[in-house]
Chain A
Amino acid sequence: MKEAIRFTNVTKTFGKTIANKNVSFSVEKGKIYAILGENGSGKTTLMNVVAGIYRQDTGKVYINGKEADIKSPLDAYKYQVGMIHQHFKLVDAFTAVENLAQGVKRSDTPEYRLLKNEEKELGTLRQIKKKIKKLEQMVANEKLIDRELLSRKLKAAREDYDTIKSLKKSERKVKFYNLKTTEKRMNTLCKRYGFVIDPRKHVYDMSVSEKQTLEIVKAINRGADILILDEPTAVLTPQETRHLFDALRSMKEHGHTIIIITHKLNEVKEISDKVVILRQGEYVGEIETKKATISQLTEMMVGHKVNLAIKRDKPVNPQDRLIVKNLKVVNNENHVVVDNVSFVAHSGEILGVAGISGNGQKELLEAISGLYPISSGSITLINPKKNKPLTILHKTMKEVRKLAHDGAFHYSDGKRVDLTKVSNQKIRELVKEKKIVFNDNEIVDLGTKDPLQIRESGIHLAFVPEDRLGMGLVGEMDITDNMMLRTYKHGKGLFVRREKPGQLADKVIKDLSVVTPSKNTRIRFLSGGNIQKVLVGREIAFAPKVFMTAYPVRGLDINSSYAIYNLLQKQKQNDVAVIYVGEDLDVLLDLCDRIMVLCQGKVAGIFDANKVTKDKIGLLMTNGGKGNEASKN
């Protein structure tokens, strides 16, 4: 067995947090390894040590048997290690080729490497010259007996000289910064491993999967022999994932060593030869994939047994809650991003939205929450209020009087409410004693409301974008302040009050087991999963009528994911209409009651989750079920 990488007692800390503790294991050459672990188990940190992003505090890393001192990504390339990070390190304003060409040095070209290899074997030009001279002298010396052998040796040396010289010449000729040659090389690489990518395309025009492919090609172009991929499938569709795995297998056949960081067990089973498991920064063990079962892997990863089935109750008494009719949304580049979408979300039900990211999910949710302008169509909320006591938390006294005037209320004993001659004080008392109840359900046309009014009417959105912090949370503020972002308007007086948000922060931390030193820690310093918990927890805490969440488990480990799934289930039981935009089709099928498939902004179908297969949804996601007429605007 040949070793590609060996870790011995690697420890890495960030301040007080220990990311890796005395990790030791080795990776076999030419195999596909999966590094498995929960969020915060130190998988990415450990791999970043090899990739030159971090430096280990103590311990050693050996690459191909030699001790490696990796101070920067550049050093990593010297050891032929390339890492594909979760956040792609591509320059958006560059084309694919330009991205490939950046930072390339003469020493990275195959010609240079060939020359150096030959020089190692035959010697440099100067050494050969010396040798030739010596041999020539010896041949000239007539006293020596074995002149035939010598002249043969001389001939060989002269041939060596010519070889090296011609190699050097061709190496000199290589224009290593030349977009044309880079493009040629890129095309050869793509052909060899079966990648499809347009070299002249700008990165800002690429899909996530294309960007990832470009990253891989980039690493191989730099001569990476050991390839590390950090959660490569987190943003891919099942079809794209299959393509990626095919490419990885073909790379393995070409002798590359591949390490995948992941927490998706089925993918581990599908692609890897061996699994290394980390838990809380420590090495737990490794196991051959063939011999491992999913439950065994989970147990090693989490440290205890986890029930992997999502318990789904039947929706209880589903009522129409949110009615979207013929919704059309146009973005600022005049592309139709949500096209004639109609659906109904029921209370007490989870409506799943499947689709490749960037197919209108974000715009749809934002249009519903009032953040994105609507071109045409209507969004109606049916606010269940019939016979519910009135609260005046979100209403001014003026509004209450107007509603009473419009006949929206009656007393709990059935009499009509007339508030014209009642004092404010009296109204407050009546409300407090729950004597005023609503006549009917409130029907709200959301198209005419602003985002704040929409939120007040009970529609809450927890959107987790790719960078997690992009929407809804402020990284530089602590948990309490982030809670306050939703409530500061309710306060009176000049100064904000921090007690209530503080209590809420404590509650969220406790209920969702957010790992944080305290509620006064800046959000930016929490791990991704914990940030997501804070976001989702905050929105749920406001007892929404409609709860929309997009990618809430993006990049989360099993435990945290299930915590979130349970939260959604709880919302469902609380008669909330949940809209869940997800990526993992298995989860969508297990968690949701109905699934709506979006493709290029259009509804490709709405299905009962019990009566549809994963493949059918996957197919609809990619071509909308209409053959290949996928025209882009």
Chain B
Amino acid sequence: MVTLIPLALRAMAVYIFGATGDTIIEKGGHLNMGVPGIMFIGALGAIVGESLYANNIPADQINVVLAIIVPMIFAMIFAGLAGLLYCFLTVTLKCNQNVVGLSLTTFGVGFSRYFIAIFAEMADSNIPVAGDMIQHLFPNYAQAGAFGEMFLSGSFFTYFSILLAILISILFVKTKVGLNLRAVGENPASADAAGINVTAYRYIATIIGSMVVGIGGLTYVLDLKSGSFAATNDVDAFGWLCLSIVILSAWRSWITIPVSFAIGLLDRLPAALGLGAGPLGQFIGILPYIATIVVLIISSAISSKKMQPPAGLGQNYFREDR
């Protein structure tokens, strides 16, 4: 438990960012299959930012805050640009969302893997230093005993992700912007008739959502992989799970927290048990995916009116359409 839960919390952060970001996108009516790709591009951005910062500064001058903020800015810009591309294709050019999303994933994964490999070769010894510094938000966590070991040993990202998911939930339910965004996702024609700028809302929601997804990629690199560039190969696997977490949490971003934690537990179980690459470890590694399928079957069988996806999900809006 003491080893599993901290690991699960780290994985959870990646899932929460990815799923919350995708929730923002989907609430605006975009079924974004590009999330895995965007997350990978975000990870690439994080690596670029971290390289620029840590490689150019002596190891003893590295500042934790900057070591987080610089890569974060890069990850957000990179992922935001990917989101912008997606939006330009779907909102402005009215391309099919599934096709655009899937191509964005294919593109993002390949593009990022290529450049990450290059950056991994250039990385110098400062980067692990920076990575280690980020690992624990509360350095004195051990003083709180087993509870501290389990729940307070997380990084900045762990707690930030929880806070963000709750904030986004509040945004959706309690604010005018949230209401308007939900209206755009549910029935763009209605929102348009009510004077909401559908195009602007969709663009902004998708770009901001993509940025949050990008932070997921950043978390993956800096936190889960401790700033090691070479092992960043399966960001897209996390991205795909994020898509299903959104469905499992019924498009409510605060529910992504427990769901992500549960998936994180299953996900990190082999590592915590020290099973490594053995057949049992491999089998346990499948569990998150199997659990997803099972829960999806159950939730679709229940199909309550309150658990429905946004009604306009996946549909492009064209005002003069007949």
B residues in contact with A90, CB < 8 Å? 187, 190
In the complex, which of the residues A53, A105, A176, A204 contacts B305, with contact meaning CB atoms closer than 8 Å?
Answer: A204
Query: Which of A94-102, A265-273, A318-326, A387-395 lies at the interface?
Result: A94-102
Query: Which of A72-80, A250-258, A305-313, A556-564 lies at the interface?
Result: A72-80
Closest A residue to B309 by CB, please name it: A93
CB atoms of B190 and A102 under 8 A apart: yes
In the complex, which of the residues A73, A104, A177, A202 contacts B193, with contact meaning CB atoms closer than 8 Å?
Answer: A73
CB atoms of B320 and A94 under 8 A apart: no
Q: Does B189 contact A (CB under 8 A)?
A: yes
CB atoms of B187 and A92 under 8 A apart: yes
- Give residues 81-139 of B contacting A (CB, 8 Å): none
- Whole-angstrom distance between the Cβ of A219 and the nearest chain B Cβ: 9
Q: Does A62 contact B (CB under 8 A)?
A: no
Are A98 and B305 also in contact (CB < 8 A) when A73-B193, A74-B195 are?
no
Q: Does B56 contact A (CB under 8 A)?
A: no
Query: Which of B38-46, B176-184, B274-282 lies at the interface?
Result: B176-184
* Bound CA–CA A99/B182 (angstroms): 11
CB atoms of A77 and B195 under 8 A apart: yes
Q: Does B186 contact A (CB under 8 A)?
A: yes
Closest B residue to A525 by CB, please name it: B322
Closest A residue to B196 by CB, please name it: A103
Closest B residue to A175 by CB, please name it: B176
Closest A residue to B320 by CB, please name it: A54
In the complex, how many residues of chain A place their beta carbon closer than 8 angstroms to a beta carbon of chain B? 32
Closest A residue to B187 by CB, please name it: A91
CB atoms of A74 and B197 under 8 A apart: yes
CB atoms of B182 and A104 under 8 A apart: no
Contact with B along A500-529 (1 / 0, CB 8 A): 000000000000000000000000110000
Q: Does A218 contact B (CB under 8 A)?
A: yes
Closest B residue to A48 by CB, please name it: B320
Q: Does A89 contact B (CB under 8 A)?
A: yes
- Whole-angstrom distance between the Cβ of A189 and the nearest chain B Cβ: 16
* Bound CA–CA A422/B319 (angstroms): 66
B residues in contact with A98, CB < 8 Å? 179
Q: Which of B186, B190, B191 has the most CB of A within 10 A?
A: B190
Contact with A along B184-210 (1 / 0, CB 8 A): 001101111111110000000000000
CB atoms of B194 and A218 under 8 A apart: yes
CB atoms of A91 and B195 under 8 A apart: no
* Bound CA–CA A302/B305 (angstroms): 46
Closest B residue to A55 by CB, please name it: B320
B residues in contact with A104, CB < 8 Å? 176, 194
B residues in contact with A91, CB < 8 Å? 182-183, 186-187, 190-191, 311
CB atoms of B194 and A94 under 8 A apart: no
Closest B residue to A178 by CB, please name it: B176
CB atoms of A93 and B192 under 8 A apart: no
CB atoms of B179 and A177 under 8 A apart: yes
Q: Does A116 contact B (CB under 8 A)?
A: no
Q: Does A249 contact B (CB under 8 A)?
A: no
CB atoms of B186 and A94 under 8 A apart: yes
In the complex, how many residues of chain B place their beta carbon closer than 8 angstroms to a beta carbon of chain A? 24
CB atoms of B320 and A72 under 8 A apart: no
CB atoms of A177 and B175 under 8 A apart: yes
In the complex, which of the residues B182, B193, B308 contacts A85, with contact meaning CB atoms closer than 8 Å?
Answer: B193
CB atoms of B180 and A102 under 8 A apart: yes
B residues in contact with A105, CB < 8 Å? 195
Closest B residue to A526 by CB, please name it: B322
Q: Does A222 contact B (CB under 8 A)?
A: yes
Are A89 and B193 also in contact (CB < 8 A) when A54-B320, A94-B186 are?
yes
CB atoms of A94 and B192 under 8 A apart: no
In the complex, which of the residues A53, A101, A103 contacts B320, with contact meaning CB atoms closer than 8 Å?
Answer: A53
Closest A residue to B189 by CB, please name it: A89
In the complex, which of the residues A54, A93, A94 contacts B308, with contact meaning CB atoms closer than 8 Å?
Answer: A93
- Whole-angstrom distance between the Cβ of A320 and the nearest chain B Cβ: 41
CB atoms of A73 and B192 under 8 A apart: yes
CB atoms of A102 and B191 under 8 A apart: yes
B residues in contact with A101, CB < 8 Å? 176, 179
* Bound CA–CA A54/B192 (angstroms): 12
- Whole-angstrom distance between the Cβ of A521 and the nearest chain B Cβ: 13
* Bound CA–CA A202/B322 (angstroms): 27
CB atoms of A103 and B186 under 8 A apart: no
CB atoms of B320 and A102 under 8 A apart: no
- Whole-angstrom distance between the Cβ of A47 and the nearest chain B Cβ: 13
A residues in contact with B196, CB < 8 Å? 74, 102-103
CB atoms of A103 and B180 under 8 A apart: yes
Closest B residue to A218 by CB, please name it: B194
Contact with A along B301-322 (1 / 0, CB 8 A): 0000100101100000001101
* Bound CA–CA A89/B195 (angstroms): 12
CB atoms of B194 and A103 under 8 A apart: yes
Q: Which of B179, B182, B193, B319 has the most CB of A within 10 A?
A: B193
Closest A residue to B194 by CB, please name it: A103
In the complex, which of the residues A93, A102, A525 contacts B194, with contact meaning CB atoms closer than 8 Å?
Answer: A102
CB atoms of A102 and B197 under 8 A apart: no
CB atoms of B186 and A92 under 8 A apart: yes
* Bound CA–CA A51/B179 (angstroms): 23
B residues in contact with A88, CB < 8 Å? 190
In the complex, which of the residues A72, A176, A218, A524 contacts B192, with contact meaning CB atoms closer than 8 Å?
Answer: A72
Closest B residue to A75 by CB, please name it: B195
CB atoms of A94 and B183 under 8 A apart: yes
Closest A residue to B178 by CB, please name it: A177
A residues in contact with B322, CB < 8 Å? 524-525
* Bound CA–CA A131/B179 (angstroms): 43
Are A73 and B195 also in contact (CB < 8 A) when A53-B320, A92-B311 are?
yes
Contact with A along B57-100 (1 / 0, CB 8 A): 00000000000000000000000000000000000000000000
CB atoms of A103 and B183 under 8 A apart: yes
- Give residues 43-71 of A contacting B (CB, 8 Å): 51, 53-54
A residues in contact with B182, CB < 8 Å? 91, 93-94
Contact with B along A17-55 (1 / 0, CB 8 A): 000000000000000000000000000000000010110
Closest A residue to B195 by CB, please name it: A74
* Bound CA–CA A87/B308 (angstroms): 21
CB atoms of A93 and B311 under 8 A apart: yes
A residues in contact with B190, CB < 8 Å? 88-91, 99, 102
B residues in contact with A85, CB < 8 Å? 193
- Whole-angstrom distance between the Cβ of B320 and the nearest chain A Cβ: 6
B residues in contact with A54, CB < 8 Å? 320
Q: Which of B182, B187, B322 has the most CB of A within 10 A?
A: B187
Closest A residue to B198 by CB, please name it: A72
A residues in contact with B319, CB < 8 Å? 53, 72
- Whole-angstrom distance between the Cβ of B213 and the nearest chain A Cβ: 24
Contact with A along B137-181 (1 / 0, CB 8 A): 000000000000000000000000000000000000001100110
CB atoms of A102 and B192 under 8 A apart: no
* Bound CA–CA A525/B308 (angstroms): 31
B residues in contact with A83, CB < 8 Å? 193
Q: Which of B186, B189, B191, B194 has the most CB of A within 10 A?
A: B194
Closest A residue to B201 by CB, please name it: A103
CB atoms of A93 and B186 under 8 A apart: yes
* Bound CA–CA A72/B319 (angstroms): 9
Contact with B along A163-180 (1 / 0, CB 8 A): 000000000000011000
In the complex, which of the residues A53, A92, A103, A525 contacts B191, with contact meaning CB atoms closer than 8 Å?
Answer: A103
Q: Could you write out 13 A-B pairs with CB less than 8 Å apart? A: A54-B320, A83-B193, A89-B190, A89-B193, A89-B194, A90-B187, A91-B186, A91-B191, A93-B182, A94-B182, A101-B179, A102-B180, A202-B305
Q: Which residues of A contact B (CB under 8 A)?
A: 51, 53-54, 72-74, 77, 83, 85, 87-94, 98-99, 101-105, 176-177, 202, 204, 218, 222, 524-525
Pick the 8 closest A-B CB pairs, nearest first.
A103-B194, A177-B176, A74-B195, A89-B190, A103-B196, A102-B183, A89-B193, A91-B186
Q: Which residues of B contact A (CB under 8 A)?
A: 175-176, 179-180, 182-183, 186-187, 189-197, 305, 308, 310-311, 319-320, 322
Additional A-B contact list (5), CB under 8 Å, known A72-B195, A99-B190: A72-B197, A73-B193, A90-B187, A102-B180, A104-B176
